[in-house]
Amino acid sequence: MPWLELAGWAGSALLVWSLLQTRLLRLRVFNLAGSLVLLAYNAAVGVWPMVGLNVTLAGINVWQLYRLLRTRHDEHTYQVVEVATDDNFLAHVLRVHWADIARFNPGLRFDAATQQAFLTLCGDELVGVMLLRPAGDGIAQVDLDYVTLKYRDLTPGEFVFRRSGQLTARGYHRVLTPPGMVAPYYGRLGFKPAGDRFRLDLSAPDR
């Protein structure tokens, strides 16, 4: 099979693979890569209608990637809402996502009497849920920091820890993450390693 034809098949495979992604950022990156490969392939073989289609797809993906990357640090994109630990919607969220939650938080226990709950939203869509409890001396111990798969590449946790001001408004000046978390992302949010967990010293929310 000629290399040019192989390139065409590879581009088609990338395009199909992109549609199987549940994470927004990965979907757009793979879709853009597939569109660019197919754009070059169709231009090489002179199939101009397909060139036009892939130019359009590439443009859409570039625009969507720009929006995703520009707004992932935009405080107007995400909202943080505190909910009661006996809230029915919180119970529904935990029940629906429990299998995925347990993968990253083995041994997690839900204790409505001692924990506080925060939901991160994008409009009316759930992005993540956080459970924390006071550990004394202004320290918030995170028991659960879960982000739904769709938003997992966009680090929305920063809006709970920094930008929303929810934690400093409650008198917390330090956050400790659960020990032994699987695949933690806290280094990207300014946390520092502290033994088998991460620590963040809080200040006023960024504006």
pTM exceeds cut of 0.75: no
Domain 79-201, CATH class in plain words:
alpha beta
Count of all residues that appear for the chain in the document:
207
Amino acid 204: pLDDT: 53
pLDDT at 206: 47
Question: Whole-number mean pLDDT of the chain?
Answer: 86
Element (H, E) at 63: helix 48-71
pLDDT at 184: 66
Of 104, 75, 86, nearest to 164 (Cα)? Answer: 75
Domain boundaries, the chain: 3-71, 79-201
Residue 159, classified by CB atoms within 10 Å of its CB into exposed (0-12), middle (13-18) or buried (19+), is buried
Residues of the chain with pLDDT under 50: 206-207
Tens of pLDDT, residues 19-39? 988 888 899 999 999 999 999
